[in-house]
Chains A and B, each alone.
Chain A
Amino acid sequence: MSGKLSPGIIVILTLLAAFILAAAGADLLAHNDPLRQSLLMRLRPPGTFTATTSYPLGTDDLGRDLLARILYGARASLMVATLSVSVSLVVGTVVGLLAGWFRGWIEIVSMRLVDSVLSIPAILLAILTVAVLGPGFLTLVLVLGLTRWPRYTRVAYAQTLQVVTLPYIRAAEMAGCGPVRILLRHVLPNIAGPLIVVATSEFGLMILFEAGLSFLGLGVQPPYPSWGSIMAAGRQYVQRAWWLTVFPGVALFVLVLCVNLFGDWLRDSLDPRSLSR
């Protein structure tokens, strides 16, 4: 890797770390329970103080602390994105590796499958599946994971095709190494780079998808917070209680921004010929 750690990338990495810590440590950081309602404290502005506690970012339409909900909402965004990207990455890479190594009918079937899945309008399928199987964390991860894997397969397949022509792979084959060992030990490390690049750009996209689906009411269900559903609920009060739209939106925007910038930096580091910067 030849990336230099400029001050810019350090800032981004710090921010990303902050998000992850906030999500992981939400229990400690939030001094209010994100699920605790207080019907008398509905729609209070940021900086509201009471005798017992404070609401630095204000409250929502059920009197729940917005800061606490945003911290816990970070969990939803990060976990859904991480898990769905992991699922797609694993499934996609496996299919691509197998197609690129074995060729023949495995290759044909895989590529047809890839084209078919790519031609499914993902968001409609997501909406349908979620609306029918019932919204929920697991359904969301599955739907997002299973509609995005072809993007990894294409890269894995193309890269595998290149790598298998390398001399030392041939040598390993002739030495009697089984295909699994070769794929895992020798091919995979070589194709990891581009795959990671895809994964990081997909990560940002999955965060946006989760927010969008939660916004439509099909993602993380109440009362558990998700940035998208906080903003959906806040739409009704967009003029009176602007904080319900602004703060979660800023959090979402900054997170995705950092993820995208990190992805760009990673791409540059892994491939000096890359023209993205």
Chain B
Amino acid sequence: MRLLVLLFLVSMAVPAGAQPKEALTVDMPGDVATMDPHLQWDTESYTVYRNIFDNLVTRDGGGKIVPQVATGWRYSDETTIVFDLRTDIRFQDGSKLTPDDVAFSIRRIINPAFKSPQLSQFDQITSADVTGPAQVTLHTKTAYPVLMAQLVKLSIVPKAYVEKVGDQKFNQEPLGSGPYRLRTWQRGVQSVLDSVDNYWRGKLPFRTVTFRAVPDGPTRIADLRTGRADITRGLSPDDAESVKADKSLRLLPVATERVAYLFINTLATPTRDKRIRQAIAMAIDRDTIMASLQQGYARPVNIVLTPANFGYVADVPGWPYDPDGARALIKEAGAEGAVLSFITSPSYDRRLNEAVQQMLGDVGLKVDISVTDQPTFLRRRQGTPEDAGSLSQGRWSCACQDADGVIFPLFRSGSIWSKMNNPAFDVEVDAARIVLDPATRLEHYRRAFQVLREEVPGIGLFQDYAIYLARKELKWTPTANEAFFIMDMQWQP
């Protein structure tokens, strides 16, 4: 009896903070769309399912691609890659993860009948075969330097389980080999994950993780202030400023691979005159935009790419902020008072649109902003040059951290996004995507960016930030690809 009292007193004396935190609560701006990692790939969905599944390879804190399910890989020729796999991984139902599962996962996502929206990111892969007790071999259509970057996004699913329960049920009740297992999912409300015992990568920081859908920014912040939630993402720069003074919270901003840019039509409307495009480049005060609209949560870029992407070159200069120079060019082009159409949708920061409108107005160009919903905007922007308007805002990320995923779709002639026809540019980006040597690729990209500098089919405005907010006890460093791995977090009271 006395022993019990003693123990009780001792446990009272131990400071409360020393108890490990069992449950983590994450507030997200929306709910998961699908739990099947081969279907939707929107931020909310992958935030959750990347904790349920393991991937073939992943990126470390510095952005380098490192092994996960695969222990290593080698190119036996330009289009054949052999992966060696771990043999000690188990799915959450206890079954072993075998090369069959890896091959199955790849085939599943590239199968057109499966209708994966992510197909376009993996369709350079032609086949995946089991070639040994712990080995899988992939073939690609041509030499594909971005393959590894794309495989970072490919999760391994259990063949036997998926075939047994079918795709629909797998989406409701996923089973992976990752550190956390789905316990419940209330659509539109929240999903709850439990930690897996004896996870192969090591000890897990929390027993339970709850992801809640809370669309309202100020409400997410309020939840963090009161401790109802421990971490949230998707803060705007204004939100971030308003919580700076709160000592119980910590802001976690990170520069991402997302580039904010201004698209300029080179094939139609008054902007087909290069002088007008160059004038526009000189009329935009990017520093003020970064300081006032982004509150400093932005990094300058001189090209339409961020330093977080392979292919970034720092020595291609941008255009200086020079309103007088802009006015002179516009006068030379006889374009004072020209009307430019700016198409956009509510998905883009309207303040940036209106700031651009005003800056261009100051140099003599009249900008008409037309807001439609997102599908209509996309249809116009991806349509004929006449349909696409003169200008629009973009926030581009290929989730691959490679220039090929950015400037190729944006500016290569023939792409639905591109309203530019420049053979010199096409040659460079075409070459850069079928050669594996990084140095050669970089040279091609350097030349490509020089063309872009001259032609100005787009202006890089800034490297965008992702801003997370957490209780100060949560130790975590977010990464440029906006990965959200619970395993990397720690609670230190």
Is any CB of A less than 8 Å from a CB of B in the complex?
yes
Interface residues, chain A, CB within 8 Å of chain B? 37, 39-40, 42-43, 61-62, 131-132, 134-135, 217, 221-223, 235-240
In whole angstroms, how far apart are the Cα atoms of A235 and B216 in the complex?
A: 9
Contact count band on B:
20 to 34
In whole angstroms, how far apart are the Cα atoms of A134 and B288 in the complex?
A: 32
Residues of A within 8 A of B292 (CB): 39-40, 42
Determine if A39 and B371 form an interchain contact, defined as CB atoms under 8 angstroms apart.
Answer: no
Q: Does B246 contact A (CB under 8 A)?
A: no
Contact segment of B12-20, B346-354, B445-453? B346-354
Determine if A217 and B218 form an interchain contact, defined as CB atoms under 8 angstroms apart.
Answer: no
Residues of A within 8 A of B218 (CB): 235-236, 238-239
Q: Does B413 contact A (CB under 8 A)?
A: no
Residues of B within 8 A of A239 (CB): 218, 242
Say yes or no: A39-B350 contact (C-beta < 8 A), given A236-B217, A237-B238. Answer: no
Q: Does B45 contact A (CB under 8 A)?
A: no
How many CB-defined contacts (below 8 Å) exist between A and B?
43
What is the CB-to-nearest-CB distance from B249 to chain A, in angstroms, rounded to a whole number? 15
In whole angstroms, how far apart are the Cα atoms of A132 and B374 in the complex?
A: 11
The answer, among B239, B369, B371, for a CB contact under 8 Å with A236, is: B239
**At the interface, is chain A mostly helix, strand, loop or mixed?**
loop
In whole angstroms, how far apart are the Cα atoms of A40 and B238 in the complex?
A: 14
Q: Does B25 contact A (CB under 8 A)?
A: no
In whole angstroms, how far apart are the Cα atoms of A13 and B293 in the complex?
A: 43
CB closest residue in chain B, given A222: B350
In whole angstroms, how far apart are the Cα atoms of A223 and B346 in the complex?
A: 12
In whole angstroms, how far apart are the Cα atoms of A62 and B242 in the complex?
A: 17
In whole angstroms, how far apart are the Cα atoms of A239 and B242 in the complex?
A: 9
CB closest residue in chain B, given A62: B351
Residues of B within 8 A of A61 (CB): 238, 351
Residues of B within 8 A of A134 (CB): 372-373, 376
Determine if A221 and B293 form an interchain contact, defined as CB atoms under 8 angstroms apart.
Answer: no
CB closest residue in chain A, given B216: A235
Q: Does B355 contact A (CB under 8 A)?
A: yes
In whole angstroms, how far apart are the Cα atoms of A39 and B242 in the complex?
A: 17
Residues of A within 8 A of B171 (CB): none
CB closest residue in chain B, given A218: B373
Determine if B354 and A223 form an interchain contact, defined as CB atoms under 8 angstroms apart.
Answer: yes
Q: Does B71 contact A (CB under 8 A)?
A: no
CB closest residue in chain B, given A233: B350
**Contacts A61-B238, A235-B218, A236-B218 given; 13 further ones with Cβ under 8 A?**
A39-B288, A39-B292, A39-B355, A43-B238, A135-B371, A222-B369, A223-B354, A223-B369, A236-B236, A236-B238, A236-B239, A237-B238, A239-B218
Residues of A within 8 A of B288 (CB): 39
What is the CB-to-nearest-CB distance from A36 to chain B, in angstroms, rounded to a whole number? 8
